[in-house]
Amino acid sequence: METVQKSDDRKEDEPVDFEKAMDTAGFGIFNYVLLLVGVFAALASVFETSTMSYILPVAECDLEMTLRDKGLLNAATYAGMITSAIIWGYLADTLGRRKVLIFGYLADTICVFSSSLTQNFQMLVAFKFLGGFIVNGPGAVLFTYLTELHPAKQRPRVLMILGMINSLATLALPLIAWAIFPRAWNFLLFDSLQVYSWQIFLAVCGIPSLIGGLSFIFLPESPKFLMSQGRNAEALHSFQKIYALNQRVPMHTYPIKQLVEEVPNRGSNVNEHVFTVENKPVKPKFKREARTFTQAVRDGMIQIKPMFKKPLLGHSLHAYALQFLILLGLNTIRLWLPQLFASIGEYEALETSKTESANLCTILEYSVNKTAVVTDFAEKCSERPEISVDLYINNIIVSITGLVGYCFAGMIVKVLGAKRLLTFGLLISGCLGIGLYWSVSGLSTLIMSSAFVTICSVSTSSLMGIVIALFPTSLRSLVVATAMMFGRLGALSGNLVFPIFMEMGCIQPFLMVGLVLLAASALSVILPSGTKFNLT
């Protein structure tokens, strides 16, 4: 340890850029703690968007849902996300990543717990819309925050690790559902609120939001964000915290004492090019004057102005189109899988199907005829539906496959590059999406859907890595949030039209999913590679 410090003493007075400062802070305990907190944050984001798909077959009678109602419930969260994307992106690039993560996840906790007490379909749709509005901010900022707190050589792997965490989240959902849904829980709370097992399931799924929001209170702000705002003293303080935890030494031993100025500090002399701990306070709120609302809006407009000029305009439109197409295909199939597996299990349990192969088209026809339009729920729900264990086991298998796929992708991303992984992944996913039409059994449906979800999910993570590398810090969260907004729009569109296509016939829904992913694969060929992963 002493040898390293002595060699750095000669450069102690020289200002360094972000990449050098982050490399010096190193990779260690802090990063592992950060990733652990990221687990809960990612769980919260995935749970917010995916829990509805698990309650569709369970709460069908309690909420009196038709097939199109189920599509609307799946889409409600994404509708909320679409309306808030740009707002959250602007706040993250002006107020900071950490504040958005803290207040966003804590607000989502309140929303999720409230949704667990809903008593009818309309209330649940309203709370899921509000939950999507809230969670979109911290969910998008999490990508940026994690990459900005890791050295350059670790960033591609961090994005793949985040994808693995998302796979763990999708694995946790069927396990939680399996532990709760089979229980015959049905009781009154406060003599007025009817509580079923699916409501307890929703309440449990709000715990990660609470843990994530509280945990970010103890983590530092992104030093890259602070440097982009001219707050180098605070950025240096963040680097010192990271270094001290990674190296298990006092903060003052961090060898770097000065950082280069990326933008002029609003409260500093414009001729001053270097900020140091000595001549700038760590908390500049005593130095800088607060901006008025008009000034904040004007500064924000100046900040996003490059987004409407070449080359960033073309890059952003390209990314938005890709994200729309990918999530339209991925989330349409992913969110309908629990319902699909429940229908397969129910159909295979029928006496009339004992001698028949569980052809996917036959099952879809059976499910559509049963749930497309229901006029008498009292008669239909005279007995509570028995949910096949296949609903849980098959979704667990899909999630484990996704986790293994991310482990494999993390090893090859540096060899193939994010762009090749994106292009070929989308090509294979599109073929699998169309191929589901020819599935002739529950087993083949499970195999093809597992491969589809895994490969398409890995492609989505590759796209996010490329997008982050293509845009400057001051615009990165805005671009990621906007790209995710278009992705949510794709998921919203897919979940609204999927039940309509199911009513039209068997091949239409799978043809829609496959063609949009093949189009995305073709579009990704001309996307800039963004392989350097240097945060400028």
Per-residue pLDDT reduced to its tens digit, 51-101:
888 888 787 777 878 777 888 888 888 888 888 767 776 777 778 888 889
Q: How far apart are the first and last CA of the chain?
A: 30
Distance from C-alpha of 485 to C-alpha of 488, rounded to nearest angstrom:
5
Separation of alpha carbons 175 and 288, rounded Å: 51
List, as one string, the DSSP characters of 322-353. HHHHHHHHHHHHHHHHHHHHHHHHHHHHSGGG
Instruction: State residue 193 phi and psi, 5-degree precision.
Output: -100, 120
Alpha carbon distance 456, 170 (integer Å): 14
Contacts of residue 171, defined as CB under 8 A and 6 or more positions apart, other chains included, come to 396, 399, 400, 402, 403
Task: Return the amino acid letter for 391.
Answer: L
Q: Could you give the CA distance from residue 515 to residue 511 in angstroms, rounded to a whole number? A: 6
Sequence ranges of the domains in the chain: 2-18+222-302, 19-221+309-524
- Vertex 171: Cα angle to 110 and 147 (nearest 5): 70
The band of 105, judged by pLDDT with boundaries at 50, 70 and 90, is very high
Q: Which residues pair with 195 in a beta bridge?
A: 187
Mapped onto helix, strand or coil, the DSSP state of residue 382 is coil
Position 533 pLDDT exceeds 60: no
Task: Summarize pLDDT for 352-406 with one digit per residue, the tens.
Answer: 544 455 567 777 776 666 665 555 555 556 566 566 677 788 888 888 888 788 7
- Euclidean distance between CA atoms 119 and 369, whole angstroms: 27
Structure tokens at 408: 């494999």
- Maximum pairwise Cα distance, the chain: 84
**Average pLDDT value for the chain:** 77
pLDDT of the residue at 216: 92
Range from 3-17, 107-121, 263-277, 361-375 carrying the lowest mean pLDDT: 263-277
3-state secondary structure 232-280: HHHHHHHHHHHHHHHHCCCHHHCCCCEEECCCCCCCCCCCCCEEECCCC
Give the least confident one: 16-20, 45-49, 298-302, 532-536.
Answer: 532-536
**Tens-digit pLDDT profile for residues 423-466:** 888 999 999 988 888 887 778 888 998 899 888 888 877 777 77
Contact in structure between 116 and 185 (CB atoms under 8 Å): no
Condensed to tens digits (0 to 9), the pLDDT of residues 31-43 reads 889 988 988 998 8
- CB of 374 closer than 8 Å to CB of 385: no
Tokens 């399931």 belong to which residue? 201
Quick one: fold of 19-221+309-524?
Growth Hormone; Chain: A; (1.20.1250)
pLDDT one-digit tens code per residue, 114-142: 888 888 888 888 999 998 888 878 887 88
Which of 163, 94, 87 is CA-nearest to residue 132?
Answer: 87
Cβ neighbours around 277 below 10 Å, total: 18
Please tell me whether the overall predicted TM-score, pTM, comes out greater than 0.75 for this model. Answer: no
* Residue 47 structure tokens: 């749970």
Binning the chain into helix, strand and coil, the percentages to the nearest 5 are 75, 5, 25
DSSP H or E segment with residue 43: helix 29-55
Cα–Cα distance for residue pair 88/132, rounded to 1 Å: 12
3-state secondary structure 160-200: HHHHHHHHHHHHHHHHHHHHHCCCCCEEEECCCEEEEHHHH
User: Residue 452 is inside which H or E element, if any?
Assistant: helix 442-470
